[in-house]
Structure 1
Amino acid sequence: MEKQEQQIYNLLCSTSEGMDMAAIQGIIEMPLEDIVNSINVLSTKGYVEFLQSSKGIVYKAIADVEANLLGKLDGDERIIYQFIKQADNKGIWTKDLKFKSNLHQTVITKVLKSLESKKIIKAVKSVKNSVKKVYMLYDLTPSRDITGGIWFTESELDVEFINTMLNACFKFIQSKSIPKNKDGIFSPNYSGYPTAEQVLKIIREAKITSTEIELDDMQSLLDCLVYDGRIERLIGEEIMYRALPDLDSQNYYTSIPCCGCPVYNVCHENGPVNPVNCEYLKTWLQF
């Protein structure tokens, strides 16, 4: 690398945002023609890339490792590589590559095969379209939009895993929704129904799976249980979840507060205990 090239490269390495020509001229005392020529040489060698910004064209330094890689690529490979790199972990498909690069489809196909064989890029199937492949840098982990998140394995919906997680969540919520004493009833102010965060904490501690589950994943599971009619949302200061009774096995007679009430024999209209003022009955009727 020539002295002028090294000077410009070192300057560009000092910022991760890149610099426009005016900024470079304001720092380096060098004729504009020499700056332009040096940047073009650095670009050809793979040490500088051109990016479009709100200020126009900016010049950004490329790390030595990547520069060495780019130095081994031909012109078409370098163009395709840069567009794939910009797509990050969301990837880019061939139609967009063709539009952005203006290269012929035959050339693009050849370049993609070459970059794949060198393990510089990889093709990933999108769960949104099984016949559509997107390309990204080889070492990147695809985004959830591409893979479908933890509910997909090799682009296929993992039904068994989902059902395992649904049942585990339901059992915990159910344990907090039914009194341990089969004849007992919860007080009107009972607040032991779990939130999504609490269910997530229990599932993580139970180590049912080695897959890292996030709050958004847990919310998806709880939404599914709600839609299936297995639990319901209780909206208050915070959203809690309560298990709904099994329609096939629930004894509705014993679920009525009156049936487990120890003073039911003195409960009547105008009595010391009466249905009008019973907090348990009011709460139960609101369900």
Structure 2
Amino acid sequence: MSQPGGAGGSKTQITAAILQEAYIHGCQNNNELSPDSLKSLGWDNSVIVRVLNIFTEKRLCSVKKNKSSGLLSSVNNKVVFQLRTEEVACKLNKLSNEEYLVFCSIEDAGNQGIWTADIRKNTGLQTHVVQRAVKVLCNDWNLIRPVKSIHVKNRKVYILASLEPSKELSGGTFYENGEFDMAFVDNIKEKIISFIDSKRKCALQEILEFINYDMNMDSSSARKNISLSDLQSVINMLIVELKIICVKGGNSNSSENFFMCLKWPESLSVTPEAEDVPCLACPVFETCSWSFESQILPCPQLCKYMDYSLNNCKPLLPE
């Protein structure tokens, strides 16, 4: 597009095409606009200022603030504007000034959320005005939603409807409505054990792909995936419970860990030392016949290392 503005300093009309170009430019730059970024379109300062003013008046953008300090965010000492979607802007233009103030306060809080006392403090509005605005934003426009904090059980905080609450606020995948969901964790543990048992051994990424696929196929589950760190937490629980064990890769050059199920007779007293089984570090583990029928492949009944581990009464001499 050619530069808006004619010669002789004549005032440029800000057309719909100019506004659309600015909006598309922001969408392509992480939904952010700044005077410097708009200069790359070849526009002079007067056009840029008027475009940003129009966006602000139409509630298409907000001044971006630093989440930690609450101060205006900037790039090279220039104010940065955060674009909103046209759908959200359309709803915002139907709000009263008080309702819009409340929305902006919640928007600034990001995924950490904010409760009504802090909204009142930020906006200077009376309690009943804030409460009414929150109700309108939630119920009438679906712009915000309440989230239960795991830290303060009886306090609701509010975030934008389009955001997921932070892990610090909601507790993450294993929490539901502010409460730890033990049934969900137990279900994941059972699936992990069943999968590892069916494969004999599994790498962490294999388990993650299976669990997320299974969750996506379960139409009754609201949760559709877990992260690698979430899975690692459950894996660690199973290791502590002596239900699975982590073993280094089958060959000496492999640094990858894999996981195996531990199965113990009910009569056996299981202790952490029980996992010191030579098979788990055996160089021929991959070819060992667990059926006890092979006369060619290595097998437990002919294994001198197994004999030594079970008897533990005489030194194992090299052949």
Distance change (3 Å), C-alpha of 1:150 and 1:42: closer
Which runs of 5 or more residues in structure 2 are unaligned?
1-11, 27-31, 65-72, 250-254, 271-276, 280-299, 309-314
Distance change (3 Å), C-alpha of 1:169 and 1:250: farther
Q: CA deviation at 1:125?
A: 1.0
Q: Is the 8 A contact 2:243 2:261 kept in 1?
A: yes
SS of the aligned residue for 1:15 comes to helix
Ranked by relative contact order (alpha carbons within 8 Å, sequence separation 6 or more), the top structure is 1
State how 1:206-221 maps to structure 2 within 5 Å.
210=218, 211-214=223-226, 215-221=228-234
**Is residue 164 from structure 1 mapped to residue 187 from structure 2 by the alignment?**
yes
In structure 1, the residue matched to 2:8 is: none
Q: CA deviation at 1:70?
A: 2.0
State how 1:1-287 maps to structure 2 within 5 Å.
3-4=13-14, 6=16, 9-10=19-20, 12-16=22-26, 17-20=32-35, 27-28=42-43, 32=46, 39-40=52-53, 42-51=55-64, 52-54=73-75, 55-59=77-81, 62-98=84-120, 101-104=122-125, 106=127, 107-118=129-140, 119-174=142-197, 193-203=201-211, 210=218, 211-214=223-226, 215-235=228-248, 237-246=255-264, 248-250=266-268, 261-262=301-302, 275-277=316-318
Distance change (3 Å), C-alpha of 1:129 and 1:53: same
Give the letter aligned to residue 165 of structure 1: I
Q: CA deviation at 1:175?
A: 5.8
Give the letter aligned to residue 223 of structure 1: N
Distance change (3 Å), C-alpha of 1:223 and 1:12: same
Report the count of equivalent residues.
249
More helix by percentage: 1
Q: CA deviation at 1:131?
A: 2.5
Q: Is the 8 A contact 1:12 1:60 kept in 2?
A: no
SS of the aligned residue for 1:116 comes to helix
Q: TM-score, normalised by structure 1?
A: 0.65
Larger of the two Rg values belongs to structure: 1
Distance 1:117 1:222 in 2: 40
Q: Is the 8 A contact 1:91 1:142 kept in 2?
A: yes
Query: RMSD over aligned Cα, in angstroms?
Result: 4.3
Distance 1:21 1:208 in 2: 44
In structure 2, the residue matched to 1:186 is: none
Which runs of 5 or more residues in structure 1 are unaligned?
177-191, 269-273, 279-287
Q: TM-score, normalised by structure 2?
A: 0.59
Percent identical pairs in the alignment equals 23
Distance 2:37 2:207 in 1: 56
Distance change (3 Å), C-alpha of 1:24 and 1:73: farther
Distance change (3 Å), C-alpha of 1:117 and 1:205: closer
CA deviation map 1:193-234 (0-9, x unaligned): 322223334545667972434333322221111122323322
